[in-house]
Amino acid sequence: MSQKPGKKYTAAANQVEARPYSLGDAVSLVQKIKFSKFDETVEVHLRLGVDPKHADQMVRGTVVLPNGLGRSKRVLVIASGDKLREAQENGADIVGGEEIVAKIQQEGWIDYDAVISTPDMMRSVGRLGKVLGPRGLMPNPKTGTVTTDVAKAIQEIKAGKVEFRVDKTGVVHAPVGKVSFANEKLLENASSLIQAVIKAKPSAAKGKYVKSATICSTMGPGVALDVTVMNVKTV
């Protein structure tokens, strides 16, 4: 039995018309109808015309949001030798080698928001797929989290780098900031994320790429976005 939505949610949902909004109007509306006491995260959800079961239709990538996410990510770096010191000097929150791999493997420890690994450690880090994979934390060369340039990777993540990946139902979910952000900053972040997903369109994807899109705050109702502009590669 589904739970009946609360009065505040219903009141917010009643202010959302059953039509697609421009991105600018949608961002303004999400901020207007916010009702919870905490500073909610604003998320974009894009339903794509791809079948992620086929490797050539997988959509994934990263984007550094121009205005960050409103909080600093807790970064773990798994490395060895001089790269450990480089990680510490460039703002990594947790730094370690084989002992960190063992802790994650044995305890299922996940007290961090992003993981960076140097290539030489990936033989060990590869054993952590069952813990890190489902949480989207597994280091990957395609997203810049398996690298010898540890300093750059840390700086990008701290600056607001967001990784996106289509899930098994064909949907990309990604945060774009906080509801308290200035309207233009939230709009700029959301636009950057959408453009990055459009740019990541696989050549094997046929037909309409962005089938539907919504933007919402953590507790609020979704606001439908006009996808016609997205399918001609502009937002």
Domain ranges of the chain: 17-68+161-232, 75-158
| Predicted confidence (pLDDT) at residue 58 exceeds the cutoff of 70 | yes
Alpha-carbon span 39 to 70, nearest angstrom: 10
CB atoms under 10 Å from CB of 4, counted, come to 8
| Predicted confidence (pLDDT) at residue 233 exceeds the cutoff of 70 | no
Give the angle 78-102-158 at the CA atoms, nearest 5°: 30
| Predicted confidence (pLDDT) at residue 42 exceeds the cutoff of 90 | yes
Residue with the two structure tokens 């974009």:
44
pLDDT value at residue 227: 92
| Predicted confidence (pLDDT) at residue 235 exceeds the cutoff of 60 | no
**Tell me: domain 17-68+161-232, CATH 3.30.190.20, correct?**
yes
Q: Check residue 222 and report its DSSP letter.
A: P
pLDDT value at residue 3: 64
Most confident of 2-6, 58-62, 149-153, 205-209: 149-153
- Cα distances from 112 to residues 70, 80, 94, 172, in angstroms, run 16, 19, 8, 22
Give me the amino acid identity at 123.
Answer: R
Check: CB of residue 31 under 8 Å from CB of residue 179. Answer: yes
Closest of 37, 155, 198, 35 to residue 190, by C-alpha: 198
The reported pTM is: 0.77
Alpha-carbon span 232 to 205, nearest angstrom: 14
pLDDT value at residue 22: 95
- Please enumerate in sequence order all residues whose Cβ is within 8 A of that of 185, keeping only pairs 6 or more positions apart, or say none: 66, 67, 177
- Residue % of the chain over a pLDDT of 70: 97
| Predicted confidence (pLDDT) at residue 1 exceeds the cutoff of 70 | no
pLDDT value at residue 124: 95
> From the DSSP assignment, how many helices (H) and strands (E) are in the chain?
8, 9
pLDDT value at residue 234: 45
Reading phi first (left if > 0) and then psi (alpha if -120 to 50, else beta), residue 75 is in beta
Give the tens place of pLDDT for each residue, 79-137: 999 999 999 999 999 999 999 999 999 999 999 989 999 999 999 999 999 999 888 89
Question: Three-class SS of residue 22?
Answer: coil
Closest of 221, 235, 230, 224 to residue 40, by C-alpha: 221
pLDDT value at residue 88: 94
Average pLDDT taken over every residue of the chain: 91
pLDDT value at residue 72: 78
- Residue % of the chain over a pLDDT of 90: 77
Give the angle 17-69-32 at the CA atoms, nearest 5°: 25
pLDDT value at residue 205: 86
Domain 75-158 maps to which CATH number in 2.170.190.11, 2.40.50.140, 3.40.50.790, 2.40.30.30?
3.40.50.790
Q: Mean pLDDT throughout 203-230?
A: 92
